[in-house]
Amino acid sequence: MATIKEVADKAGVSVGTVSHVITGSVPVSELLRQRVDDAIRVLDYHPNHVARSLKTSRTHTLGIIVPDMTISFYPQIIRGAETGARAKGYSLVAVNSLESPERQGELLSILRSQQVEGILIVVAESGTSGSQMERLESAGIPVVCLDRVPERITVDSVSVEDVAAAEMGTDHLLAMGYRRIAIVTGSLALRNERRRLQGYEQSLRRAGLVPSEDLIWQGNLRSEDLASMCRDRLSDPETRPDALICTNGPTALGALRGMYQCGLRTPDDLGFVTFDELTVDDLFSPAITTIVQPAYDIGFRASEILLDLIHNKGARHGVTNLRLPATLKVRESSRRNLRLVRPAEVVPLRASS
Amino acid sequence: MATIKEVADKAGVSVGTVSHVITGSVPVSELLRQRVDDAIRVLDYHPNHVARSLKTSRTHTLGIIVPDMTISFYPQIIRGAETGARAKGYSLVAVNSLESPERQGELLSILRSQQVEGILIVVAESGTSGSQMERLESAGIPVVCLDRVPERITVDSVSVEDVAAAEMGTDHLLAMGYRRIAIVTGSLALRNERRRLQGYEQSLRRAGLVPSEDLIWQGNLRSEDLASMCRDRLSDPETRPDALICTNGPTALGALRGMYQCGLRTPDDLGFVTFDELTVDDLFSPAITTIVQPAYDIGFRASEILLDLIHNKGARHGVTNLRLPATLKVRESSRRNLRLVRPAEVVPLRASS
DNA sequence: CTGTTAGCGCCTTCAA
DNA sequence: TTGAAGGCGCTAACAG
C-alpha cells in the first residue's frame, strides 16, 4: 500500500502538496497537480482513511444495529440509511444484535471503539438498558432509534405511526363486516407493540365495540410459540374470532401456521390483516392484506436526522420523534365475499409527526 | 472520549502500563491492573480502534459487497460471513453495489481506503473488470468471490454446486413425469447461470431427451421483463412446455407473474421448480418446489477462507474454489397428481469441492 | 514488572 | 503557491 510520501517522492513534491491536491483545501498549480495525479494513478494510491481519521478525528462512518437483517423489514431500513449516509459521504456499518441485550452491548462498544460518528439502532426486544445509550450521548455520539422507541423519551427516533396504522387495519376489517376481531401481538414490553394494540382498541371503540381481554393475544417473535398459541385459541368454534390482525411479520407467520394446523383458511374461515409484507405482491394465495411500513424511508430519514445531529453538536433544539404513515394494501385475506375480488388497492394514511 | 493518557493519569501509571493491561501482551501486577481497570470504568474509556489500527496496520475489518441486500439470499450470506468474522475478532462492513460496476468500483475503492484486510464480493452482473480485483490482490488485499464466480479462475470462490443443483431440479421434474421442460435463466453472461443451464441439459440428455433451443429462455434479473417474456412464450398452447425450471429467485417471480397473466397455474398447467426460496415454507400456495442454496454457509465458509488468506499471506497453495451442495425441497408445484400430496421432503445432494 | 519513546500516515497550521 | 513539522491515540520495543 503506497503512502502519501511515496506519491510525493514520485511526483517530486512534498507530502504537503500531495495532501493539498487530495483534499482540495489549498490551491495547487496545474503543473504540480498533474504530476501528483499521475503519481497517484501509477502507484494505485488510496488515501489511508485510518490515518486521516486519526488526524481529523472524523471517521465519516455511521453504525446501524438491527435485530436480524435476515428479516426483510431490516434490509430495507439499512438500504435507506446507507443511501442517506452515502449522499453525505458517510459509510455505514450494519450489525445484528439477534435480540440479545448482551450482544447489543458488545456491538455498541465495538462501534464506539471504531469511532463511528453516530448510531442508528433498533433496540433489542428486552432489557435494553438506557444507561448504555446515555453513556453514548454523553460521549458525544448521537443516537437515533428506529422502529422500536424506548420508553425514555429523551432519544430521537423514527418509526411508523403505530396507532394510526393499527387503527387503519382494524377499521378495514370492520368495514369488511368482521366483528369479532382478535389481535396477535409480539411482546407488549415493546412500546410500539402496545401502541399498535392501542390503535386496535381505539378503532373498535369508535365502532361501538368493546375490546375484550380474551381477544388480545400476546406472543413473542418466535413463530413456533405463536403457532401453538393460535392453535389453542382457535380450536374452539364457539369462542373463535372471525378475523385476526397481527402486529408484525414473524407473529403473522406463526398465526397463519397455527390457523392452518386447525384446518382453518383465510379469508373463508377468518379475515386476516398484518403489519409487514409476508410474500411478494399477490403472486401467492392467500394474498394477505398488509399494513406496509415505509421501511426504506424510515432508514433514510433516520440517517438524515443522525447526520444533522452530528453536524450540529450541542445546538439541538429538543427531541425529534418522527412518525411516518403506513399504507394499507388490501388483498384477498380480508375479503369476506370472494365474489368481490378486485385488483389490490392502496390506501395511503395521513401523515403526522 | 477519554484517551489512554487520561486513564493513565487517573490510575497513576504510565500509558505503557495501561496499554499492557488492555492488550494483555505484557504481565502487569495485580494492584496496578486493578487501578487501571477502575480508571477505565470510571472514565467509560473505549480504546480508539482507529489509532490502534494506524499503529498496528491491522484494522480487523472485512468488507462484503453484495448486489442488493434487500434480496433475501444476500442477508443470509452476510449473516454467515459476519458470524465467521466475529468468531475471529473481525468486523464486517456490508455494502450494496446495486449491480452497478461503477458503484462497485467506488465501493472497492472506499473499502481499500478504509483499510479492510480482505473483501468478500458477489460481483455485479455485468462488466466487472478483473483489473480492479487484480489491483486489490497486488495491494495485498485478498478477495473471495461468492455465488457468482468470475471467468478468470485465479480468484478464490465459494458458491453452490450449480451444475449438480440444476441437474437435481431437472431430474426431479423428469421423475415426476414432465417431459417438455423449459429453463428460465438470468443473463447467461453470468457463469453460474451458464452452469445451471448446463446441469439442466445434462439431466435431459441422461434421460434421453434432446435440449431444445426454444426451451432455453434467457432473461435478466428484472421481474417485469421476465414476465412479459414468459407471457409471450406461454401463450401458444401448441408449443407450451409442461414444466419450468428457474435459475434464481427474481427470475422465478417474473416467470410466475407471466404464467398468471396467461391464466396458467402450477402445478395444474405447468410444473414449476426454482432456485431460491420465494416464500416462507409452504404457508402459501402454490408451495413452490425449491432448490435451496446454503446461503449462510456460503458466507460463513467464505469468511473462513478469507481470514485464512489474510493470516497466511504469501503462503497460499493454489486457488480454493469451494462448491457447496444444494438441497431440494419438494413441494406442490412439481406434483403432477395432486392426490399424491405428502409433507415436504428434503433431499440432500452429495457434496463436491 | 513498569515507564519512556518513536513512529504508524495523514492533515494543517505556519513560514518561506 | 509550496514545504516543513507537529501531533492525533496507540502499541511495541527498549531501558530501567
Residue B340 has pLDDT above 50, yes or no: no
Q: Among A185, A223, A183, which residue's Cα sits nearest to residue A203?
A: A183
Q: What percent of chain A has pLDDT over 90?
A: 71
pLDDT of residue B210: 94
The rounded distance, in Å, linking the Cα atoms of B74 and B116 is 20
Q: Among B114, B123, B119, B113, which residue's Cα sits nearest to residue B143?
A: B119
User: How many CA atoms within 13 Å lie on the side-chain side of A28?
Assistant: 21
What 8-state DSSP symbol labels residue B247?
S
Which of A19-28, B124-133, B144-153, B247-256 bottoms out in mean pLDDT, i.e. has the lowest? B124-133
Which of A66-80, A339-353, B25-39, B162-176 bottoms out in mean pLDDT, i.e. has the lowest? A339-353
* pLDDT level of residue A130 (50, 70, 90 thresholds): confident
Which of A326-330, B79-83, B130-134 bottoms out in mean pLDDT, i.e. has the lowest? B130-134
Neighboring chain B residues of A92 at a CB cutoff of 8 Å: 95
Greater pLDDT, A318 or A19: A19
CB of B267 closer than 8 Å to CB of B286: yes
Sequence-distant (6+) residues with CB within 8 A of A278 are A249, A252, A253, A256, A288, A290, B279, B280, B283, B284
Residue A351 has pLDDT above 80, yes or no: no
Contact B280 A278 (CB under 8 A): yes
Q: Among A156, A247, A233, A150, which residue's Cα sits nearest to residue A198?
A: A247
pLDDT of residue A127: 67
**CA-based nearest residue in chain B for residue A131:** B44
Neighboring chain A residues of B280 at a CB cutoff of 8 Å: 253, 278-279
Cell triple for residue B327? 438441497
The terminus-to-terminus CA distance of chain B in angstroms comes to 49
The rounded distance, in Å, linking the Cα atoms of B257 and B276 is 16
pLDDT of residue B128: 67
pLDDT of residue A314: 66
pLDDT of residue A150: 85
**A267: cis peptide before it, omega within 30°?**
yes
pLDDT in tens, B205-237: 999 999 999 999 999 877 788 899 999 999 888
pLDDT in tens, A116-125: 999 999 999 8
Stretch (H or E) spanning B96: strand B91-96
Contact A284 B286 (CB under 8 A): yes
Residue nearest to nucleotide C9 (CA to C1'): A51
pLDDT in tens, A69-87: 999 999 999 999 999 999 9
Contact B115 A76 (CB under 8 A): no
Distance from CA of B314 to the nearest CA of A (A): 16
* pLDDT level of residue A236 (50, 70, 90 thresholds): confident
Nearest nucleotide (CA of A50 to C1'): C9
Q: CA angle, corner A145, sides to A141 and A146, nearest 5?
A: 140
Nearest nucleotide (CA of B11 to C1'): C2
- What is the average pLDDT across A89-114? 94
The rounded distance, in Å, linking the Cα atoms of A145 and A305 is 11
If 0-12 CB within 10 Å is exposed, 13-18 middle and 19+ buried, where does residue B211 land?
Answer: middle
The rounded mean pLDDT for chain A is 90
pLDDT of residue B348: 45
Q: With DSSP H G I counted as helix, E B as strand and the rest as coil, what are the percentages for chain B, rounded to 5?
A: 45, 15, 40
Nucleotides of C under 7 A from a protein CB: 1-5, 7-13
Distance from CA of A166 to the nearest CA of B (A): 24
Which of A315-319, A336-340, B8-12 bottoms out in mean pLDDT, i.e. has the lowest? A336-340
Q: How many other C-beta atoms are found inside a 10 Å radius of the C-beta of residue B348?
A: 10
How far, in Å, is the CA of B30 from the C1' of nucleotide C2? Answer: 13
CA distances from B193 to B162, B183, B227, B232 (A): 8, 11, 18, 22
- What is the average pLDDT across A247-260? 92
**What residues form DSSP beta bridges with A219?**
none
What 8-state DSSP symbol labels residue A264?
-
pLDDT in tens, A14-30: 999 999 999 988 888 99
Bridge-based pairing state of the strands A345-348 and A327-330: antiparallel
CA distances from A307 to A50, A156, A194, A310 (A): 20, 12, 30, 5
Residue nearest to nucleotide C6 (CA to C1'): B55
Report the b/e string of B286-295 with b at 16+ CB within 10 A. bbbbbbebbb
pLDDT of residue B154: 84
The terminus-to-terminus CA distance of chain A in angstroms comes to 49
How far, in Å, is the CA of B17 from the C1' of nucleotide C4? Answer: 11
Q: Among B137, B172, B342, which residue's Cα sits nearest to residue B274?
A: B172
How far, in Å, is the CA of A116 from the C1' of nucleotide D2? Answer: 34
Helix, strand counts (H, E) of chain B: 12, 13
Say whether A347 sits in a helix, a strand or coil: strand
Cell triple for residue A115? 469511532
What fold is seen in the domain B59-160+295-324? Rossmann fold (3.40.50)
To test the contact with chain A by mutation, choose from B40, B69, B134 the residue with the greatest count of A C-beta atoms within 10 A, namely B69
pLDDT of residue B133: 84
pLDDT of residue A344: 45
Residue A173 has pLDDT above 70, yes or no: yes
Which of A3-12, A99-108, B79-88, B342-351 bottoms out in mean pLDDT, i.e. has the lowest? B342-351
pLDDT of residue B41: 94
pLDDT of residue A220: 83
- What is the average pLDDT across B103-126? 93
How far, in Å, is the CA of B282 from the C1' of nucleotide D11? Answer: 55
pLDDT in tens, A37-65: 999 999 999 999 999 999 999 999 999 99
DSSP string spanning A191-225? HHHHHHHHHHHHHHHHTT----GGGEEE--S-HHH
CATH 3.40.50.2300 for domain A162-293+327-348, yes or no, is: yes
Q: How many other C-beta atoms are found inside a 10 Å radius of the C-beta of residue B201?
A: 19
Contact B115 A48 (CB under 8 A): yes
**B267: cis peptide before it, omega within 30°?**
yes
Neighboring chain A residues of B92 at a CB cutoff of 8 Å: 95
Which of B25-39, B269-283, B329-343 bottoms out in mean pLDDT, i.e. has the lowest? B329-343
Distance from CA of A165 to the nearest CA of B (A): 23
Contact B54 A50 (CB under 8 A): yes
What 8-state DSSP symbol labels residue A338?
G
**A286: cis peptide before it, omega within 30°?**
yes
Nucleotides of D under 7 A from a protein CB: 1-14
Contact A79 B59 (CB under 8 A): no
Distance from CA of A114 to the nearest CA of B (A): 5
Phi, psi at residue A63, to the nearest 5°? -115, 150
Stretch (H or E) spanning B144: strand B143-146
How far, in Å, is the CA of A62 from the C1' of nucleotide D13? Answer: 35
Residue nearest to nucleotide C4 (CA to C1'): B16
How far, in Å, is the CA of A50 from the C1' of nucleotide D2? Answer: 26
- What is the average pLDDT across A290-313? 95
Residue nearest to nucleotide D14 (CA to C1'): B16
How far, in Å, is the CA of A35 from the C1' of nucleotide C10? Answer: 20
Nearest nucleotide (CA of A52 to C1'): C10
To test the contact with chain B by mutation, choose from A50, A76, A98, A115 the residue with the greatest count of B C-beta atoms within 10 A, namely A50
How far, in Å, is the CA of B109 from the C1' of nucleotide D3? Answer: 29
pLDDT of residue A339: 38
Contact B47 A278 (CB under 8 A): no
The rounded mean pLDDT for chain B is 90
Distance from CA of A140 to the nearest CA of B (A): 8
Residue A107 has pLDDT above 90, yes or no: yes
Question: Domain boundaries in chain B?
Answer: 4-47, 59-160+295-324, 162-293+327-348
Same fold, B59-160+295-324 and B162-293+327-348: yes
With both helix axes pointing from N to C terminus, report the angle between B130-138 and B101-113 in degrees, rounded to the nearest 10. 10
Q: Among B278, B279, B274, which residue's Cα sits nearest to residue B291?
A: B274
CA dihedral angle for residue A163, residue A168, residue A170, residue A172, rounded to 10 degrees = 180
Query: Which residues of the protein have their beta carbon within 7 Å of strand D?
Result: A 13-17, 20, 26-29, 31-32, 51, 54-55, 57; B 1, 3-5, 15-16, 19, 22-23, 25-26, 47-48, 51-52, 54-56
pLDDT in tens, B170-219: 999 999 999 999 999 999 988 999 999 999 999 999 999 999 999 999 99
Q: Among partner residues B74, B92, B253, which is closest to A280 by beta-carbon distance?
A: B253
CA distances from B208 to B109, B124, B165 (A): 50, 37, 19
**CA-based nearest residue in chain A for residue B249:** A280
Say whether B190 sits in a helix, a strand or coil: coil
How far, in Å, is the CA of B95 from the C1' of nucleotide C5? Answer: 40
Nearest nucleotide (CA of A45 to C1'): C9
Residue A128 has pLDDT above 90, yes or no: no
* pLDDT level of residue A353 (50, 70, 90 thresholds): very low
To test the contact with chain A by mutation, choose from B230, B280, B298 the residue with the greatest count of A C-beta atoms within 10 A, namely B280
Helix, strand counts (H, E) of chain A: 12, 13
**What residues form DSSP beta bridges with A324?**
A160
Contact B280 A280 (CB under 8 A): no
The rounded distance, in Å, linking the Cα atoms of B189 and B168 is 23
Place of cell 493454489: B318
pLDDT of residue A131: 80
pLDDT of residue B56: 94
Q: How many other C-beta atoms are found inside a 10 Å radius of the C-beta of residue A2?
A: 16
Bridge-based pairing state of the strands A243-246 and A181-185: parallel
Neighboring chain B residues of A91 at a CB cutoff of 8 Å: 93, 95, 110, 114
Residue B141 has pLDDT above 70, yes or no: yes
CB of A94 closer than 8 Å to CB of A69: yes
